[in-house]
Amino acid sequence: MKFLRIGPPGAEIPCVMDEDGQARDISSLVPDISPETIPHLTESLAGADLARLPAVPEGRLGAPIARPRNVWCIGLNYSDHAAESGMDVPAEPILFSKSGAAVCGPTDPILKSAQMTKLDWEVELGVVIGRAALEIAPEEALDHVLGYCAVNDVSERAWQAERGGTWIKGKSYPNFCPTGPWLVTADEVPDPQALSMDLSVNGETMQRGSTDTMVYGVAHIVHYLSQFVLLEPGDLICTGTPPGVGMGMKPPRYLDVGDTVRLSVEGLGGQETPVVSAAEGR
């Protein structure tokens, strides 16, 4: 299944896409696609005749899940991205987090504060947890995954690398995590380690890669995270980015107001996000 949410911020309608690509309103079955409803989401829709549910016209797409409790991220998870960053491949996954308030829709604008000087892009595979996981074995990990989505792990590199402390400062500004357009259930993604991905800025390709070059695959990431934290339904995991980020270019290139970022992950849809002044976009 492909889940999506359509409508203005805070008033999105939960939907599922039918076989003809039409969004169908499932709010009579579940109030939203959220951490509270995700544990029983597929059960709630079992046996439903999607063709009899109300069609929802095209409109703004929200993130396919309502604000997750946690957004977990994996750093330097592609060896060639680690190389362009001038860092060694990590002996264990690098863990950090983003604020849940950074999650936004796939066409919502990236907000650039006047204080930002090194605003960067990162196309990533997003993993959505379907049921709680704590200290699980690697072979059990994918059983805890509801599905997958496309993510842009937007980063302000100056805040991330030059202000001391942890990376979260450069990762958590509002709209720094465009997500979607869809949440595609795991049964429709038979191999999450075989998905192509790409990202362009103003029509120029910057990133082109595949999840098959991840240092640590999805199953290991879910297993590894569960050794340290309780993964909860609706948690979003951003699994790392291939090479081609602005920070790694010579000379570096960064986003500015007026730019447009487009990205896609195979089978999970695409995004198109403009960069706007934070003062005007909030």
Per-residue pLDDT reduced to its tens digit, 155-184: 999 999 899 888 999 999 999 999 999 999
- CATH architecture assigned to 71-281: Alpha-Beta Complex (3.90)
List, by residue range, all CATH 3.90.850.10 domains of the chain: 71-281
When pLDDT is cut at 50, 70 and 90, the band that residue 282 belongs to is low
Per-residue pLDDT reduced to its tens digit, 205-244: 999 999 999 999 999 999 999 999 999 999 999 999 999 9
* Cβ-proximal residues to 67 (8 Å cutoff; 6+ apart), any chain: 34, 100, 101, 103
pTM (2 decimals)?
Answer: 0.95
pLDDT greater at residue 165 or residue 107 = 107
Q: Is the pLDDT of residue 76 over 90?
A: no
How far is the C-alpha of 33 from the C-alpha of 12, rounded, in Å?
10
SS3 content of the chain, % helix, strand, coil (to 5): 20, 30, 45
Using CA of residue 270, residue 177, residue 126, residue 194, what is the dihedral sign?
Answer: positive
User: CA geometry: angle at 152 spanning 149 and 158, to 5°?
Assistant: 155
